[in-house]
Amino acid sequence: MNDSRSSDSRATPGSTQASSGSGTPSGAVPAFRSATVHRGTLRASARSFLHALGQDDEEIARPHVGVFHTGGEMSPCNMNLREQAQHAKTGIYAGGGMPHECPVVSVSDGLTMAHSGMRFSLISRELIADSVEASVRGHQWDGIFAVGACDKNLPGLMMAMVRCNVPSVFVHGGSALPGQMPGSASGRDLNVVDTYETIGKVLAGTSTLQELDTVTRACLPSAGACAGQFTANTMGMVSEALGLAPIGSSMVPAVFSERAPLMRRAGRQLMDMVWAGARGEAVLPRDIVTRKALENACAVVCATGGSTNAALHLPAIAHEAGIRFHLDDVAEIFARTPLIADLKPGGRYLARDVYYIGGAAVILRALLEQGLLHGDALTFTGRTLAQEVADAAEPDGEVVRKAGHPISPDGGLTVLKGNLCPDGALLKTAGLHTLVHRGPARVFESEEQAQDAVQAMAYAPGDVLVIRNEGPRGSPGMREMLGITALLYGQGMGDKVALLTDGRFSGATRGLCIGYAGPEAADNGPIAALQDGDIIAIDARAGARSITVELAPETLATRLEAARAARAQQRPLGGLLEKYALTVRPAHQGAVTHSGAVTWLRDKK
């Protein structure tokens, strides 16, 4: 059966497929997509390739499943994912499937931070989704098992699952364990953000190179994603909230032995859906990713003070399902969701601590009991979210509170709008001591310019540091600014200045740091008109949620016309950056690069 955009995985009930060995019938068995590759006389050469993979006739006749992972030595986040994928393959085989390992590219945010390589981080999300689609549709895989554990590979894999719309399951590969300062068995936990902030302390003269070296070596003692509620762990929780992942999977640390049976079990659960698909009864990703599921995911992000990057990735996942779900939709959910999890970077605890109190299911159940989630949303098992979390533990009161007694009633993230950001901008409010700021702009044309100024501490308390030309199209690639934001905190200035950019922030960023400003400078957004000394007013309180520049409309318009003329001559980029800049859409739409599932373009309820 050839794939179609309207029903990529629906087999015809009651249909049969021929024996893979000779092209002659061997009894009625369900028809799978993969039979297109190997069935019949004309496909004998394809069977040669499958035999060369070590498969016998019975295995060739099985449903074939792509096991996609981003394992490799590009970062500790990815280091043990191939090992985890092997356990998934065992579960798939035990469930009657034939697994095919399919590694895909991953770009590490940790190793691309604060240099030009960061331009390729967000782009890698699209590369991952595109490469999974090419493999699934090219090889006609009957299902997808996806394993990722770094910032962009989680959403990239989930986007691909929804795009291909075959029976699928996603599992976050888990977080790293925190480190501790040597010499103390009960010292404070360390994670990689401590290294960034210690750099700032060294530059400010409040720490030493020796201490920096100690923190550098101690902060990341194991494989796994960064330990706090940064982008990877945020999107891991999102995978459960969306219904694409097993409940209880995302917070299991990467190096815990519990991961082996978890992966095998998920492989068998996926095969249940693959066999159901042969009967036309499978719950497919586009059945799961509905508007209700997307709202559930937004609520979990806000309730945990999660990464602002989720507001970029959720619209992109929605886009693959043909659902218009932009930053305004995200803002609506953020505005009504309380903050109930006390997680870093704004709080005190880490992913490991969430695991010990019962995992993401604790948070999901707490939100559900307060009417903040749609319990009837489907999960990949065919059961509802309410059914899946019914036995979850109660909040412990420290790591996670009950939704009726939140840390903050306003949630951990907010979307700001005004004449400076008509399409919106994002701020993580979790852990902020002040939500109001007014000060003069200090404008930088690139991350490098800002980095040099911050390293030299060439700025003043009260400034609003503005970094432009770093949006999806202007950068291109929408670079992440953790290097700068962490330096500001390390210098003791995190609460004394604000930062605004059309680029991105890491999930580990904290402070009055406002990103994703839209429209971006390359699209002649108001940020392109700013000059040093312009007064910017920020009010993130619930009644306002505003960001404005104190300029007359006619002044703003005149400056923007001049900025447009100055950008008329664009230098050629070449290669991947050029293709990306020509196709990428604005940040408030998810920075996607294609027209989406246009056959279904609608608002699902």
- pLDDT above 70 covers a percentage of the chain that reads 92
Q: Is pLDDT larger for residue 346 or for residue 302? A: 302
Least confident segment among 126-135, 235-244, 409-418:
409-418
Using an 8 Å Cβ cutoff, are 310 and 337 in contact? Answer: no
Counting Cβ atoms within 10 Å, is residue 226 exposed (0-12), middle (13-18) or buried (19+)?
Answer: buried
Which amino acid appears at position 477 of this protein? G
Closest CA to 226 of 400, 116, 352, 107: 352
Check residue 393 and give its pLDDT: 97
Check residue 26 and give its pLDDT: 41
Check residue 249 and give its pLDDT: 97
What's the CA angle centered on 195, arms 192 and 199, to 5 degrees? 155
User: pLDDT averaged over the chain?
Assistant: 90
Is 109 a known ligand-binding residue? Answer: yes
Which amino acid appears at position 596 of this protein? G
Which amino acid appears at position 519 of this protein? P
Q: Which two tokens stand for residue 388?
A: 């899946």
Eight-state DSSP code of residue 177: P
Residue 130 has pLDDT above 50, yes or no: yes
Using an 8 Å Cβ cutoff, are 68 and 84 in contact? Answer: no
Q: Is pLDDT larger for residue 107 or for residue 573? A: 107
Domain segments of the chain as ranges: 62-177+222-605, 179-218
Check residue 4 and give its pLDDT: 35
pLDDT digits (tens, 9 = 90+) for 462-495: 999 999 999 999 999 999 887 788 888 888 888 8
Residue 15 has pLDDT above 80, yes or no: no
* H-helix segments, 114-258: 119-139, 153-164, 192-204, 209-218, 231-242
Using an 8 Å Cβ cutoff, are 513 and 499 in contact? Answer: yes
pLDDT digits (tens, 9 = 90+) for 297-311: 999 999 999 998 999
Closest CA to 403 of 299, 516, 487, 505: 299
Check residue 416 and give its pLDDT: 96
**Identified catalytic residue from 6, 121, 506, 546:** 506
Using an 8 Å Cβ cutoff, are 325 and 596 in contact? Answer: no
Check residue 16 and give its pLDDT: 35
Backbone angles phi, psi at 534, to 5 degrees: -60, 140
- CA–CA separation, 418 and 386 (whole Å): 38
User: What does the longest C-alpha to C-alpha distance in the chain come to?
Assistant: 80
- CA–CA separation, 316 and 587 (whole Å): 10
- CA–CA separation, 18 and 484 (whole Å): 61
Check residue 80 and give its pLDDT: 96
Backbone angles phi, psi at 444, to 5 degrees: -125, 140
Give me the helix-helix angle, 192-204 and 482-490, nearest 10°: 60
- CA–CA separation, 286 and 116 (whole Å): 36
- CA–CA separation, 49 and 53 (whole Å): 6
In a 13 Å sphere around the CA of 188, the CA atoms on its Cβ side amount to 6
- CA–CA separation, 231 and 461 (whole Å): 29
Residue 12 has pLDDT above 50, yes or no: no
In a 13 Å sphere around the CA of 565, the CA atoms on its Cβ side amount to 6
pLDDT digits (tens, 9 = 90+) for 180-220: 888 766 677 898 889 988 988 888 889 999 999 999 999 99
Residue 407 has pLDDT above 50, yes or no: yes
Is 423 a known ligand-binding residue? Answer: no
Q: Which two tokens stand for residue 366?
A: 């707490």
Is 151 a known ligand-binding residue? Answer: yes
Check residue 7 and give its pLDDT: 41
Backbone angles phi, psi at 169, to 5 degrees: -145, 145
CA 200 to chain centre: 27
Check residue 570 and give its pLDDT: 66
Burial annotation 554-587 (CB, 10 A radius, 16+ → b, else e): eebeebbeebeeeeeeeeeeeebbeebbeebbbb
Check residue 10 and give its pLDDT: 40
For tokens 């992966």, name the residue. Answer: 263
pLDDT-based confidence at residue 510 (cuts at 50, 70, 90): confident
Closest CA to 136 of 167, 106, 164, 163: 164
Eight-state DSSP code of residue 99: E
Closest CA to 176 of 251, 74, 264: 251
pLDDT-based confidence at residue 17 (cuts at 50, 70, 90): very low
- CA–CA separation, 24 and 37 (whole Å): 15
pLDDT-based confidence at residue 558 (cuts at 50, 70, 90): very high
Residue 437 has pLDDT above 70, yes or no: yes
Q: CA dist 438 to 262, 465, 485, 498, 514, Å?
A: 50, 12, 18, 9, 13
257 catalytic? Reply is no
Q: Which residues pair with 602 in a beta bridge?
A: 323
